[in-house]
Chains A and B, each alone.
Chain A
Amino acid sequence: MQNRAAPAREGARAAAPSVDEGPRLSNRARERIAGYLFVAPDAIGLLIFVGGPMILSLSLGFFSVSGFGEYEFVGVANYRRMMADPLFWRSVEVTVLYVVALVPSLYVVGLGLALLVQSNSRFNTVVRSLLFMPQTVSLVVVGLVWQVLLVDKIGLFNQFGATFNLQSISWLGDPRFALFTVIGISVWFLMGFYMLIFLGGLQDIPREYYEAARIDGAGAVQSFFKITLPLLQPTSFFVLLVSTVAAVCGSQTFDLIYIMTKGGPANSTSLAIFYIYQQAFLFNEYGYAAAMASVLVVVLMAITVLLFALTRGGRFTYG
């Protein structure tokens, strides 16, 4: 569309100079200047407050930074320390477990809910809103509410278990359960968003395909695997990518852990983002924390490049 409109635009442009003679700038120069001025606020802001820290995080890891802002070059000492730090490896392990459990759960739950509420009825509109609702509440409140629900013995969950003669479970206090509890709460919080993304994808699949399949005698299960899943591929890709990034470094990886477990018990919920925060702001180990964060930045940049390559700039470039 952009290209088709271009000739008309050139026409307007060719006609204009006759009006514009004299000391004034040419239209083309005006367009350029306007372009730069319009982009400048965001470009400069992003450069300083996102680009700057990204680059800084790659270099800061080679320094030792004191709480008062004194820097000392230490080479790869921080990285060497990382390799030998059992708590770092523990946080890597916890993060991998979290990602491996959360991403497929969000995919299945998100798609399941989307299929459940995909037809447009007033009832489904309400259900969609209700399923999305946890997303609008802050993660601090989410953490506090679930803490109450999961309190030992007298919390609602354990009261409910007790009616079936189950022993009280320390959902957040037992190293065997804590991470899975956090994963469950993360699913509850995030599922509405992925449901909506899947709904958007489902709506783009032409109804006629299902009609045709039905006439050919295909059942619901068959048309799901033969039509829905293959045609949802772009959406699936987007969901898997975004949910992986969210599982590694979404704000819930800090907020929930900070409120509910502080990384415990026995470091069983010590997600990488939280461990980095602890090192920086509790122990003043800014350089060491930056070294660990730089690994994450590299991983995320790699994912971004992959995303860009695989979607050929995606809809971000060509609409």
Chain B
Amino acid sequence: MAEVASTSASTEEDANERRRLQPVRIALYVVASILSFMTIAPLFYMVSMSLKETNEVFGANLVPHHPTFANFVYVFTQVDFIRYLLNTFFVSAVVTVVALVFHSMAGYALARLRFPGRDAIFLTMFATFLISQPVIIVPLFILARALHLLDSYAGLIVPSIFNAFGIFLLRQFYLAVPRELEEAALIDGAGYLRIWWSIILPLSRPILSALAILFFLANWNSFLWPLTIISNQDLWMVQVAIASFRQQYNGSWNYIMAASTVVALPTLVMFVIFQKRIIESIKTSGIK
């Protein structure tokens, strides 16, 4: 660095500036490190507790003295956890795939195709943007009961498919896709379904994969809806299962933390693998 600084006055100034800022930068590193450790410490503690024996559960040590998988074995043998995991995987996967197909079609039509009433349809969809499920849970439940959707996979899946957020993001994305690509295909006589399937869908792979992860996580983690409409234990989703497990094994925190770890681990692993994509897609979703 000293070599570079001696070459010209301006870079020397920069180097001085940098040297002056060095303590500040180190302080920022330290603060960022401490904050991020504090942020994930509760999650570490969860995993640590799940590996501890009953008598040292509340020890402040993050590393268990006698690590054991007994808590996990107990959880899987006492309740039908595998079934709940499979239920949750099935529901989340179906919702994600169907939602992406529907939203992509709708987003494409709203961005590109011209038909009367398009803007009115878009505005009406926009009106549902801020209505979250907890707000309409009572009428939604009554509707689901009238449609005989209670206690069924269909009840878990169908109402979870539709949300305006995905449509908006995709429409936004399609507005920026160059028109020339479709035009050529149109002149070649391709139908709109063909264009959507073989031009639009492949183009939107990055945004679709980001949305797929977000949708899957949201459904894997959803609690209120499955809690409300499912009473048949065979159809339990995993979040409902651990909430009930907690009531049943009140105070046996090592078991409860083992169950929690099993439920949280898939989402954490998914996040670590796809973190770049998830973070980019959220960073750019704000109003500009």
Whole-angstrom CA separation of A134 from B42 in the bound complex: 9
A230 beta carbon closer than 8 Å to chain B = no
Asked if residues B134 and A297 are in contact (CB atoms below 8 Å), the reply is: no
What's the least CB distance linking B166 to chain A, in Å? 9
Whole-angstrom CA separation of A290 from B179 in the bound complex: 47
Asked if residues A277 and B137 are in contact (CB atoms below 8 Å), the reply is: yes
Asked if residues B284 and A200 are in contact (CB atoms below 8 Å), the reply is: yes
B69 beta carbon closer than 8 Å to chain A = no
Closest B residue to A191 using CB positions? B39
Closest B residue to A117 using CB positions? B32
Asked if residues B115 and A36 are in contact (CB atoms below 8 Å), the reply is: yes
Asked if residues B105 and A42 are in contact (CB atoms below 8 Å), the reply is: yes
Asked if residues A56 and B139 are in contact (CB atoms below 8 Å), the reply is: yes
B9 beta carbon closer than 8 Å to chain A = no
A133 beta carbon closer than 8 Å to chain B = yes
Asked if residues B168 and A250 are in contact (CB atoms below 8 Å), the reply is: no
Asked if residues A140 and B223 are in contact (CB atoms below 8 Å), the reply is: yes
What's the least CB distance linking B19 to chain A, in Å? 16
A26 beta carbon closer than 8 Å to chain B = no
Asked if residues A39 and B121 are in contact (CB atoms below 8 Å), the reply is: yes
- Find chain B residues with CB under 8 A from A253 CB: 134
Asked if residues B40 and A43 are in contact (CB atoms below 8 Å), the reply is: no
Q: When the two chains form the complex, which single residue of B114, B125, B179, B256 contacts A43, counting CB atoms closer than 8 Å? A: B125
Closest B residue to A188 using CB positions? B39
Known: A53-B140, A156-B45. A204 touches B288 (CB 8 A): yes
Asked if residues A38 and B105 are in contact (CB atoms below 8 Å), the reply is: yes
Asked if residues B159 and A49 are in contact (CB atoms below 8 Å), the reply is: yes
What's the least CB distance linking A172 to chain B, in Å? 14
B142 beta carbon closer than 8 Å to chain A = yes
Closest B residue to A198 using CB positions? B286
Q: Which stretch from B79-87, B185-193, B203-211 is at the chain A interface?
A: B185-193
Asked if residues B138 and A290 are in contact (CB atoms below 8 Å), the reply is: yes
Asked if residues B282 and A193 are in contact (CB atoms below 8 Å), the reply is: yes
A94 beta carbon closer than 8 Å to chain B = no
Asked if residues A130 and B39 are in contact (CB atoms below 8 Å), the reply is: yes
Whole-angstrom CA separation of A235 from B193 in the bound complex: 37
- Find chain B residues with CB under 8 A from A48 CB: 143
Whole-angstrom CA separation of A303 from B173 in the bound complex: 25
Q: How large is the interface on B (under 10, 10 to 19, 20 to 34, 35 or more residues)?
A: 35 or more
Q: Which stretch from A79-87, A96-104, A308-316 is at the chain B interface?
A: A308-316
- Find chain A residues with CB under 8 A from B132 CB: 245, 249-251
Asked if residues A255 and B108 are in contact (CB atoms below 8 Å), the reply is: no
A155 beta carbon closer than 8 Å to chain B = yes
Asked if residues A49 and B140 are in contact (CB atoms below 8 Å), the reply is: yes
Closest A residue to B103 using CB positions? A42
Whole-angstrom CA separation of A145 from B46 in the bound complex: 6
Contact code string B154-191 (vs A, CB < 8 Å = 1, else 0): 00001101111001100010011001100100110101
A237 beta carbon closer than 8 Å to chain B = yes
- Find chain B residues with CB under 8 A from A156 CB: 45, 58, 60
Q: When the two chains form the complex, which single residue of B32, B113, B172, B227 contacts A316, counting CB atoms closer than 8 Å? A: B172
- Find chain B residues with CB under 8 A from A314 CB: 287
Contact code string B86-112 (vs A, CB < 8 Å = 1, else 0): 000000000000000011011011100
Besides the contacts A113-B35, A293-B137, what 7 more A-B pairs have beta carbons closer than 8 Å?
Answer: A35-B109, A50-B128, A200-B282, A253-B134, A300-B135, A308-B126, A319-B172
- Give the 8 A-B residue pairs with the shortest CB-CB distance, closest first: A35-B115, A38-B109, A138-B221, A34-B192, A56-B139, A35-B113, A130-B36, A53-B139
Can you list 24 A-B pairs, Cβ within 8 angstroms, ordered by A? A12-B183, A35-B118, A38-B109, A43-B106, A46-B162, A49-B140, A54-B131, A129-B272, A132-B279, A133-B43, A138-B267, A140-B239, A144-B256, A145-B257, A151-B58, A258-B243, A276-B137, A280-B141, A290-B139, A293-B137, A300-B135, A303-B130, A304-B126, A304-B130
List residues of chain A with CB under 8 Å of any chain B CB. 1-2, 5, 8-9, 12, 15-16, 19, 27, 30-32, 34-36, 38-39, 41-43, 45-46, 48-54, 56-57, 60, 65, 69, 113, 116-117, 123-134, 136-141, 144-146, 148-149, 151, 154-156, 159-160, 188, 192-193, 196-197, 199-201, 203-204, 234-235, 237-239, 245, 249-251, 253-255, 258-259, 273, 276-277, 280-281, 286, 289-290, 293, 296-297, 300-301, 303-304, 307-308, 311, 314-317, 319
